[in-house]
Amino acid sequence: MKTFKSLTGWAASIVFCISMFHLPAFAQEKPTLSDAEVASVAVVANQIDINYAKLAKEKSKNADVLKFAETMASDHKAVIDQAVALVTKLGVTPKDNAVSKQLLSDADKTMKTLRTKSGRAFDKAYIDNEVAYHKAVISAVEGLLIPESENAELKALLQSIVPALNAHLEHAQMVQKQFSGK
């Protein structure tokens, strides 16, 4: 009985310590979003990748980079169309919010940096950013947008795009290999 008591006390203090360290950060990373805000974040996140792809089509001459950018433009457009069709059906108007604004201002900075580069340096910077961006979007969709969405159809739509995001990430990593040289 005594051992049991001290064991539970020990376990409780560990749980307490872990939550002390992790809860504040967790709460900061997870803002509360309405479905209208989730929809806005989803549309903005897809539009950003379409903009990166447009820039790549202007600046790159690498066949693999161009083919990848072409797939990004087409796939992310299809996801936006699907999201717009759903919110229209649900009568929801996407509403911008702290998360979507943050995404836009980060993308703005990245676009500025990408514009200063050309040739192989541009290709490498574009693909490196695509790898990082898809990783970030996957974790935002899985860790924030899916748990935050209340409507079942919105949740299902977000879940259905995860395999495509993963395929894009692997594709980007495949193209990235040819620039790993220097």
Partner 1 sequence: MRTAKTIFPIVVFLAGIILYLPVNFTTAPIAKPQTHVVEIKQMKFNPAELTVNKGDTVVFVNKDVLRHDATETTGKSWKSPALASGQSWKVVATKSASYYCSFHPVMKGKIIVK
Question: Under the rule (CB under 8 A), what is the footprint of partner 1?
Answer: 67, 70-71, 74-75, 78-79, 82, 160, 163-164, 166-168, 170-171, 174
* Shortest distance, position 46 Cβ to partner 1, whole Å: 12
HSE-CB of 148 using CA atoms within 13 angstroms: 22
Closest CA to 97 of 157, 24, 153, 45: 45
Instruction: Report the residue number, 14 or 132, with the smaller CB distance to partner 1.
Output: 132
* Shortest distance, position 178 Cβ to partner 1, whole Å: 13
Alpha carbons 173 and 168: distance in angstroms, whole number: 9
Instruction: Report the residue number, 106 or 153, with the smaller CB distance to partner 1.
Output: 153
Instruction: Report the residue number, 163 or 181, with the smaller CB distance to partner 1.
Output: 163
* Shortest distance, position 147 Cβ to partner 1, whole Å: 21
Tokens representing 58? 């202007």
Contacts of 20 (CB under 8 A, 6+ apart): none
Instruction: Report the residue number, 19 or 74, with the smaller CB distance to partner 1.
Output: 74
* Shortest distance, position 132 Cβ to partner 1, whole Å: 18
Tell how far CA 163 is from the center of its chain. 13
Helices 35-59 and 152-176: crossing angle in degrees, nearest 10, is: 20
